[in-house]
């Protein structure tokens, strides 16, 4: 029986039994593989690195969506960079205040293949009338658009290949320029125990670009090696400092179906281990 071995780290790896292959092809941008594993369900892999699985995707997508949207409290316009599987889009659309979502995905094949082979990720989100799909480079889109957004979600791959530019100071500056007053940028920043440079570099660049920034975390089983960090940046202090009482009130007023996110988890996720605080230069 076939086995897939992830190639993200040198000297450390995780393996998955491949029970069935749904899709495998070299796209215009990357190697794309979707297979079935008895423990994790359908698994998407890009360039040898696991991106998402059916069984635990809710942790990642709920936290990278609901933390900024409930922190803001009145989101109307959202920009998603990446996220071609559609799960981030699905979570954003749960918020009734959201008027429009623009998603910029560089690889059309990821969207088309996810609609066919990972339908539970999007659950029809691509067809919502509030959604505009742009196939193109996210950094280039930000440099050319004059639109402003209340929340920008950078649902990127790791800083290798097509995703590398989405971790640059220039990209973060473009995001800041396109945020509305009180707007929030959130980013995925890898498993900090095994990818310390990814978080440290983002913290350094956030410090150069934004007035207020922080990191929050979640444990995603597929992303092996410890907790995963997410960046949170704004020019307003209020989104980061919102109280659990306010979050509870917002959640009660606009309840969304979640399996991981709660207002209490939201606040607790910003409490980081000492070694992470030292790494990020906040202790």
Question: CATH fold of 3-53, please?
Answer: Spermidine Synthase; Chain: A, domain 2 (2.30.140)
- Average pLDDT over every residue of 261-270: 97
Please determine, for residue 218, whether its predicted confidence score (pLDDT) is greater than 60: yes
pLDDT of the residue at 215: 97
Q: Is the pLDDT score of 145 beyond 60?
A: yes
- Mean pLDDT estimate for the chain: 95
Question: Reduced to 3 states, what is the DSSP secondary structure of residue 112?
Answer: helix
Spatial separation of the C-alpha atoms in residues 47 and 56, rounded to whole Å: 20
Q: How confident is the model at residue 266 (pLDDT cuts 50, 70, 90)?
A: very high
Residue at token pair 């998955």 = 16
User: pLDDT at position 75, please?
Assistant: 97
User: Which one of 47, 137, 150, 155 is the catalytic residue?
Assistant: 155
* Region 54-67 average pLDDT: 98
Tokens of 240: 């980061």
The candidate with the shortest Cα–Cα distance to 185, out of 216, 218, 220, is 216
- pLDDT reading at 211 higher than 90: yes
Question: Residue 69 pLDDT more than 80?
Answer: yes
DSSP state of 223: S
Residue 268 clears pLDDT 60, i.e. is over it: yes
Check residue 164 and give its pLDDT: 75
pLDDT at 193: 96
Instruction: State pLDDT tens for residues 5-22.
Output: 998 898 999 999 999 999
Alpha-carbon distance of 136 to 229, in angstroms, equals: 26
User: Collapsing DSSP states into helix, strand and coil, what is residue 183?
Assistant: strand
How confident is the model at residue 165, as a pLDDT?
79
- The answer to whether residues 149 and 78 touch, using CB atoms and an 8 Å cutoff, is yes
For the question of residue 155 being annotated catalytic, the response is yes
Which candidate, 257, 77, 89, 261, places its Cα nearest to that of 184?
A: 77
Confidence band of 162 (pLDDT split at 50, 70, 90) = low
* pLDDT digits 0-9 by tens, 229-254: 999 999 998 888 899 999 999 999 98
Residues in the chain: 283
Residue 1 has pLDDT above 70, yes or no: no
* In the predicted structure, residue 163 carries a pLDDT above the cut 70: no
The full set of domain ranges for the chain reads: 3-53, 57-280
pLDDT band at residue 88 under the 50/70/90 scheme: very high
Residue 59 has pLDDT above 60, yes or no: yes
CATH architecture of 57-280: 3-Layer(aba) Sandwich (3.40)
With tokens 């293949």, the residue in question is 113
Higher pLDDT, 224 or 131: 131
């Amino acid at each position: 029986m076939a086995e897939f071995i992830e190639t993200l780290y040198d000297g450390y790896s995780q393996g998955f039994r491949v029970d069935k292959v749904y899709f495998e092809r070299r796209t215009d941008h990357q190697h794309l593989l979707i297979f079935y594993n008895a423990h994790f369900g359908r698994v998407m892999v890009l360039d040898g690195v696991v991106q998402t699985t059916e069984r635990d995707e809710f942790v990642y997508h709920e936290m990278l969506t609901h933390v900024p949207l409930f922190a803001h409290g009145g989101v109307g316009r959202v920009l998603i960079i990446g996220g071609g599987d559609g799960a981030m889009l699905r979570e954003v659309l749960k918020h009734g205040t959201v008027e429009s979502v623009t998603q910029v995905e560089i690889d059309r094949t990821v969207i088309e293949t996810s609609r066919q082979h990972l339908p539970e990720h999007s659950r029809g989100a691509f067809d919502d009338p509030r959604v505009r799909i742009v196939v193109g480079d996210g950094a280039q889109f930000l440099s050319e658009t004059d639109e402003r957004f209340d929340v920008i979600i950078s649902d990127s791959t790791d800083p290798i290949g097509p995703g590398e530019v989405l971790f640059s100071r220039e990209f973060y500056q473009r995001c800041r320029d396109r945020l509305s007053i009180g707007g929030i940028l959130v980013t995925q920043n890898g498993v900090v125990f095994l990818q310390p440079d990814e978080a440290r570099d983002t913290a350094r660049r956030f410090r150069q670009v934004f007035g207020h920034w922080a990191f929050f975390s979640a444990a995603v089983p597929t992303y092996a090696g410890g907790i995963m960090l997410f960046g949170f940046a704004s020019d307003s202090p209020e989104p980061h400092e919102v109280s659990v009482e306010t979050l509870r009130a917002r959640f009660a007023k606009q309840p969304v179906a979640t399996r991981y996110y709660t207002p209490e988890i939201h606040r607790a996720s910003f409490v980081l281990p000492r070694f992470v605080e030292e790494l990020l230069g906040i202790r």
